[in-house]
Amino acid sequence: QVQLVESGGGLVQAGGSLRLSCAASRSIFVIKAMGWYRQAPGKQRELVAVFTRRGNTNYADSVKGRFTISRDNAENTVRLQMNSLKLEDTAVYYCNAVVVTTTPPYEDNYWGQGTQVTVSS
């Protein structure tokens, strides 16, 4: 079982910055990728950024140039640095981990509890 614990959410003025952190518990599973999703009220959850085990990154077009995802391998932690925040960034942000399993389909998804990010004008 993989446990994900998020921190760093809060209230920030437009144009400001926040840094989110997600720590994954130690397990026998290999973490294939870690990333961040977000969900605004009345909206579907959407991908924000992902960091793969091989070091590749991918960002939603809406956050490119403003958000940066990084990984601390020693602490099994993924972070999301959010700069130049906009009102549209307001959402609950969820950490996600894709882990390798021993049964089909040989990978599984785990989610954190979510952390609220609110951007004000």
Tokens of 99: 């882990």
Residue 52: per-residue pLDDT? 83
Residue 96 in contact with residue 3, Cβ under 8 Å? no
Tokens of 91: 């959402």
Residue 72: per-residue pLDDT? 81
For residues 46 and 36, what is the distance between their CA atoms, to the nearest angstrom?
9
Q: Which residues of the chain have pLDDT under 70?
A: 26-29, 73-75
For residues 87 and 102, what is the distance between their CA atoms, to the nearest angstrom?
42
Residue 27: per-residue pLDDT? 64
Tokens of 51: 């960091």
